[in-house]
Amino acid sequence: MTDLVALLTQKTNLKKEHIVSILKLLEEGSTIPFIARYRKEMTGGASDEVLRDFETLYENAKKLLERKEEVTRLITERSNLTEALQKSIEEAETLRVLEDIYRPFKEKKTSRASVAIALGLTPLAETIQSAKLTLQELFVHAKQFVTGDVASVEDALKGAQDILAERYAEEPREREAIRNTMLRFGVLQTKKTKNFDENGSFINLAEKSEKVATIPSHRYLAIMRGVNEKELSVKITIDLERIEENIKAYKIPRHAQSSKELLFDAYKDGLKRLLLPSIEREVQAELKEKADAAAISVFGKNLSQLLMTPPVTKRVILGVDPAYVSGCKLAVIDENGNFLESAVIYPTQPKNDYMNSKNKVLALTKKYNITGVAIGNGTGSRETQEFFAQINAEENIKLSYTVVSEAGASVYSASKLAQEEYPDLDVTIRGAISIAARLRDPMATLVKIDPKSLGIGQYQHDVDQKLLEKKLGDVTGDLVNRVGVDINSASASLLAHVAGIGSKLAKNILDFRQQEGNFTTKAQLLKVKGLGKKAYEQSAGFIRIKEGKNVFDNSGIHPESYEVAKNLMGLDLATLDVKELAESWHVGVQTLKDIITELQKPGFDPREELPPIPFKEGLTDIKMLKEGSFVSGIVRNIADFGAFIDIGLKNDGMIHISKMSTKRIAHPLEILSLNQYLPQIEVIAIDREKGKVSLSLV
C-alpha cells in the first residue's frame, strides 16, 4: 500500500491524505458516484471525472507494482539480480520501461542468437564486442570454435554476430533511444495495395507521408481501417544513416582494431532485422492507444451531452417515424411517457395521401391535446416536416415539431427489452414510441440502447471495445446518478446505472414494485431481494420518491444526513454560518452546503439549466439552397475534425473545425455541444450530386 500511495502521489494532483482515503473507499466497495457526491471531505471535493481518472491511474499503478514483483522474481530465478538491476526495476515508471529491462532475461523462442548460444559461440561474441583483436587475430581465435555443427570460421563469426545483434536489439537504452526517435521524428507512410479501390473511401489517404508526432488521431484510425481492409499498407521510417553514425560514434570502442567492422555489421543487423521492426510495432501500438483514447473521449463527451439533453415536460407528444412506401408510423405518449395510441399515415410519395393523413393527425391532436411532435431524421424526414408545416399553415393549430435523431430506434424496437415493454405492438410502432420518448426524456430512453448505435461517435468500431464500453458505462452511470432516478417510474435499464444497483438488483426492484406497489420510503429498498446495507448506502442518495412519506426522499440528500436536514428546516438558509454550524453539528462543511442546496432547490434537475430543445411550426424553404445563404440547424454529432449539423436535409451538413471560429481551437467541443441549436449558419459549398453541404460559423 505504501508503494502504491507513493506512486499515485507522483502521478496525481491529489493530496496524500485524500489518496489514502479514496483507496480505502474503493477497497471497501464504494462507487465513484457515491464517493464524488457523499464523501467530499475525504477526497478534497474531487469530481467524478477526477475520480474516474484516479481510478484508471490506480489500476495501472497496481499492474505496474505487480509486474515489478514478478519481473524481480523471474530475473532472480533465471540470472543474477544485481543491485543496479534492482534499482532500475524500482525506478521504472512505466510498464514499457520495465519490459525493456526484462526483455534480455525472457525465455525466447528459437532464434538465430539462441542457436549460436547453444553452439557455444558466446565467448567469441564477447571477443568481437571487446574489439581488441585485429581481423587476422580474430580469424585465428575463431578457429577453436569450428567444431560439431559449426562448419567453418565464417559460420562461427556469423553466429557470434547473431548473438551481438540480439544483445544490441535488447539493450534498454538503445530501445528507448530508437523509440523516442521514432515518436519524435518518424514519418508514417501509406501505400496502395493490390486491393486498393481507386473510387473508394481511402483515396485521400493513399501514398501519403505524415509525421508520427503530429498525425491527428482520427486520421490514424482512418488509415488503420484502410490497413485492416487490406487497401493500404503502412510503414514508419526514420533517418537510418544518422542512427548508424551514432552506433559508430558511441557503440564501437575507440581503441577498436580492424575487427570493429564485424561489430558494426552485427549492430547494424540487430538494428534493421530486430530492433526497428519491434519498435515500429510498439510505436504503432502507442499511436493506436492514443487514437483510441482520443476517439473514446470524444464519444464520451458526445454521449454526456446527449444524455443531458433537457427533457420536454408537460407535453403530450406525437412520435413520427417517417418513411415512403410503408408510411409514417405515429405513436402518442402522455406527459409521463405512457403509450396511448398509434396510427400510420401516407403523406409522402408514392401515395401522397395528404388529406387522410392530415385528418388522422388532427383527430389525434384533438383527442389527446397533443402539443409537441418528434419527427425522426431518417428517410422521408424532410417531406414529413413539410407535411406538418403545411398543416400548421392551413389549420393555424401551432402543432410545434422538432427533428429527433432516430439513430438506434430500430435497434431498440427489435430488442428483447422492447418486446417486453410493448409485447402487443408492431416493431415499427415501437420505433415511433422510442422517437417520442427520447424527446420527452432523452436519458431514460437512450440508456435502453447500446451507445454505439446512437450515431454520435467516430470510428467507434475501430477502437478498443473494452475501453469504449467502460468509458460509455462510466459516463452514463455518472450522469444518471447526477440527475437522480425516480424509483417508481424508472425502467430496469435506468435503475441498473444507479450506484450500487446493477442489472440483477434493478430487476429485483421492478419485481418488488410489481408485487408491493410503489415505494413510499427509501428504507423499503432494504426489503428488495439481494439489496443489502452496502448497496443501500451506495444507491439511496440517488433514488427519488416523488410522493413519499418523507419529503427528503425526493432529493439528493442521503438518508445518513436526514437528521441534519431536519435540523435545518425552518431556518433562514441564506444567512447561516455554514462553517460554524458544521463544527457544532459534527458534519463536513461541503456536505452541509450540499444539503442546504438541496433544500433550496427541491426536486432540482441539473438538465433544467441547459437551453431547451427548439421547436418550430413552419419550415424554411431550402430547395433553392445556394452558396452564401444562411440556414439554422441542430448539432447532431461532433468529431475531431468538425461537426455534423441537421439543417433539414436528408444528409446533415458539415462544419469543418477551421470554419468554427476566427481563433484557433484544438477541438470542436470548445465551440459546440450536441443538440445545440445554431440560429445562423452560412452555406459555403454544395455538392448536389452527393447531397453534401459545407457550412461555416465564421
What is the dihedral angle through the alpha carbons of 470, 473, 478, 482, rounded to the nearest 10 degrees? 180
What pLDDT was estimated at residue 247?
Answer: 93
For 73-110, write each residue's pLDDT tens digit: 999 998 889 999 999 999 999 999 999 999 999 887 88
* CB hemisphere CA count around 100 (13 angstroms): 23
Contact status, residue 551 vs residue 598, Cβ threshold 8 Å: no
CA dist 253 → 130, 132, 133, 159, 169 (Å): 7, 9, 12, 21, 18
Distance CA 416, CA 408 (A): 14
Tallying the residues shown for the chain, one arrives at 698
What pLDDT was estimated at residue 459?
Answer: 82
Q: What share of the chain is helix, strand, coil (3-state, %, to 5)?
A: 55, 10, 35
Q: Which residues of the chain have pLDDT under 50?
A: none
What pLDDT was estimated at residue 582?
Answer: 93
Contact status, residue 393 vs residue 339, Cβ threshold 8 Å: no
What pLDDT was estimated at residue 608?
Answer: 82
Task: Provide CB contacts within 8 A for 44, sequence distance 6+.
Answer: 14, 15, 18
DSSP E strands in 197-338: the ranges are: 209-211, 232-237, 317-321, 328-333
| Main-chain phi, psi angles of 631, to 5 degrees | -135, 170
Question: DSSP character for 616?
Answer: B
Contact status, residue 681 vs residue 633, Cβ threshold 8 Å: yes
Selection from 642, 644, 630 nearest residue 670 by Cα: 642
Distance CA 440, CA 371 (A): 12
* Sheet strands side by side (includes 372-376): 339-345, 328-333, 317-321, 372-376, 401-404
CA 608 centroid distance within chain: 25
What pLDDT was estimated at residue 349?
Answer: 92
For 530-579, write each residue's pLDDT tens digit: 999 999 999 999 999 998 999 999 999 999 999 999 999 988 888 899 99
How many C-beta atoms lie closer than 10 Å to residue 325's C-beta?
11
> What predicted TM-score, i.e. pTM, was given to this entire model?
0.86
Q: Is 338 exposed, middle or buried (0-12, 13-18, 19+ CB in 10 A)?
A: exposed
What pLDDT was estimated at residue 601?
Answer: 87
Looking up cell 467516430, which residue turns up? 458
| Main-chain phi, psi angles of 97, to 5 degrees | -65, -40
